[in-house]
Every structure is written in C-alpha cells, then in structure tokens.
Amino acid sequence: MHTSILLFRNFRYLKISVAILAVSIIAYAIHDPLGKPNGGTWLGYTLGGLAAFLIVWLAWFGVRKRQYGVGKLLLEDWASAHVYLGLSLLVIATLHSGFQFGINIHTLAYALMVLVIGSGAFGLYAYMRYPRLRSVKRGEGSLGDVWELVAGMSRDCYEIARDLPDEVYGLVEAADKKTRIGGSMWRQLSGTNPNCASTNALDQVRDLAEGYSGREADAARRLVTVLARKVELLTRIRKDIQYKALMDIWLYFHIPLSVALLGALAIHIISVFLYW
Ligand code: HEM
Ligand code: HEM
C-alpha cells in the first residue's frame, strides 16, 4: 500500500467508479417504476446484483492479497480498485434500496456495509498518514537505531550522575531500569505513559538542581539536558507505537465487519427471494 494507490495508473479505478456511478444515477433518474423506486424493480435487481458482486469481490481481496504473483493484475491494482469501487458502493446500494430504510435485515446489511466502508476509509487514512511507520513495520526502518539512541542517552546520564549525590544517581538508575515502552493495548493506543520513570527523574533532578552550586550545578544542568532529550525521544517512540497500534487495530474491525456483512447480505438475498 502506498499513497500512490489513489493515483494508480493515472486514476484508472477512480474513472471506472465514476463511470459506473454516472450510469447508475442516470438510470435511476430516468427509471419510472410503477410504485416507489425499490430493490424489487428491474433496476433495483440490477443495482442490487452489482452491489452484491462488488462486495464479494472486495472481500475476495483478503484472499487475493495472500497469493502473490497470481493473475495479471498487480496488488496495487487490487488495492486501488478496492478503495474506489468500495466507496462507490455507498451510492450503488443506496439507489438499489430506493432510499427505503427500516428496522429489518435489509437495512442491517446496508448499515454493516457503511461500517465496513467507514473502517476502510480510516485504514486508508492511517496507511497514508504514517508511511514512515509502515517502513519500520516492514523491518526496513531503524527502530533498532532508535533503541541504540535511548541506550546511549542512558549511558551518558550514568556518566554525568557519577559526580552527583546518590539521590540523583538513584533517579538515573530508575530512569534506566524502570522506563517502560509499549505494554497493554490500551497503553499503546493512549500513546503516553503517565508513570514514566524517565519523566519522573527529569522532574526531580530539575528540582534538586536548584539547590546545587559550582561543579555539581553544572553537572546537574547537563544531566537535565540529556534527560530532557531522552524524554522527548521516548515521547516520540510512544507516539509511533500509538500509530502502529491504530494501524493494527482497524483491520480487527474491517475484516469481521466484512464477514458479518456477507452473512447479512446472504440472508437479505435469500429472504427477498423467499418472501417477495
Ligand atoms: C443480488 C443482490 C441483491 C438482491 C437480489 C436484492 C434484492 C432486493 C429486493 C427485492 C428488495 C426489495 C424488498 C422490499 O421492497 O421489500 C431490496 C431492498 C433493499 N436492499 Fe437489496 N438486494 C441485493 C443486494 C443488496 C445489497 C448489496 C444491499 C446493501 C448492502 C442491499 C440493501 C437493501 C436495502 C437497504 C433495501 C431496502 C429495504 C426496505 O425496503 O426496507 N441489497 N433488495
Ligand atoms: C463493502 C466494502 C468492503 C469490503 C467487503 C472490504 C473488505 C476487505 C478485506 C477482506 C480486506 C483484506 C484484509 C486482509 O485480509 O488483510 C480489506 C483490506 C483493506 N481495505 Fe477493504 N473492504 C471494503 C471497502 C473498503 C473501502 C471503501 C476502503 C477505503 C476507503 C477500504 C480499505 C481497505 C484497506 C486500506 C485495506 C488494507 C490493504 C492492505 O492491508 O494492504 N476497504 N478490505
């Protein structure tokens, strides 16, 4: 997935979607059914069939994604078409229903479809917004380097704290040993850690430094500078982890909702053929 899937092949899939939408809307406008427009007219069946076909095809993307090198289309074709044709469903399915919604299985299928599309839009946004993270996720990036940087800062803190009172050394030690990154899903999603040992150490060393003078004051100032940089880096890492957690979590909505949609759709279609 790249930002470019939206522009892929010079917007080919956007153009295809717009063409399908134009034909659907014109057909709906000139269609003059006996009663109110609804899913049971010839146009209703056509648009419903088209929407159902698209939904099954979009869901097939999950399978297709895992079969690299099969077929003529690139994965980017699938992704680009997935996004544009997925969005076009909002219009196609709405025209199919003739704007007749109620508390029934048909409208449940419709609502699930809207949720799948909404979660898809969120996922797409996340993918495009955090490209750097994507490369880190693929192992090309430098999460390792960032850890090395944190470890280096901890070493610098120890070095400086050797000339300072035990109290400060203890804080530096706690900042090194007790600083936690990641944790539970909620902690990751929050993107912060209110009990961060490094932030704690920074605040306390800053307070203590006010009582020092001479060489100790100099050392404490340097320590505060390094600790502040470390806290800044930790804050950035936690933000990155938050974005990664967001990117992981949306698929937990998109896929199960897709499955629920396929189920509701099957019941919708079977029930209209049984009762209509
Ligand atoms: C092969 C595919 C489909 C067929 C044959 C089909 C058939 C029908 C029929 C016959 C009706 C009229 C029912 C009535 O007036 O009581 C209807 C209504 C409706 N359909 Fe479909 N449909 C299909 C696909 C879809 C899809 C993909 C969606 C959306 C996810 C959908 C959502 C609705 C909604 C919301 C209504 C309006 C229900 C109401 O009148 O309260 N249908 N459909
Ligand atoms: C009813 C419509 C849709 C269905 C049934 C559907 C279904 C799916 C499925 C089954 C996957 C594969 C997930 C996996 O196995 O990893 C997927 C991926 C995805 N979908 Fe959808 N989707 C729909 C609409 C949309 C829309 C409208 C968007 C964006 C606006 C979207 C964005 C995405 C993205 C970004 C991925 C991830 C691709 C990747 O991980 O490489 N989807 N979708």
Rounded to 5°, the CA angle 45-51-53 comes to 100
User: In whole numbers, what is the pLDDT of the chain averaged over residues?
Assistant: 89
Q: How many CB atoms lie within 10 A of CB 56?
A: 11
Contact residues for 118 (Cβ-Cβ < 8 A; gap 6+): none
**What is the whole-number distance in angstroms between the Cα of residue 183 and the centre of ligand 2?**
28
Tell me the per-residue pLDDT of 196-239, one tens digit each, with 9 for 90 and over: 999 999 999 999 999 999 999 999 999 999 999 999 999 988 98
3-class DSSP state of 145: helix
Q: Which ligand is nearest to the CA of 125?
A: 2
First to last CA, the chain: 43
Minimum-distance ligand 2 atom for the alpha carbon of 63: 15
**What is the whole-number distance in angstroms between the Cα of residue 184 and the centre of ligand 1?**
42
| Closest by CA position to 47, among listed 105, 101, 90 | 90
Rounded to 5°, the CA angle 250-251-257 comes to 100
| Closest by CA position to 44, among listed 54, 57, 31, 56 | 31
Contact residues for 125 (Cβ-Cβ < 8 A; gap 6+): none
pLDDT value, residue 69? 63
Residue minimizing CA distance to atom 15 of ligand 2: 62
Mean pLDDT in residue range 134-152:
65
| Closest by CA position to 198, among listed 206, 186, 189 | 206
Is the C-beta atom of 75 inside 6 A of ligand 2? no
pLDDT value, residue 140? 43
Residue type, 95: L
Tell me the per-residue pLDDT of 42-79, one tens digit each, with 9 for 90 and over: 999 999 999 999 999 999 987 877 776 666 667 788 88
**What is the whole-number distance in angstroms between the Cα of residue 233 and the centre of ligand 2?**
33
- CA-to-CA distance for 167 and 119, rounded, in angstroms? 50
Is the C-beta atom of 11 inside 6 A of ligand 2? no
pTM (two decimals): 0.80
pLDDT value, residue 3? 55
pLDDT value, residue 145? 74
Contact residues for 41 (Cβ-Cβ < 8 A; gap 6+): 31, 33, 98
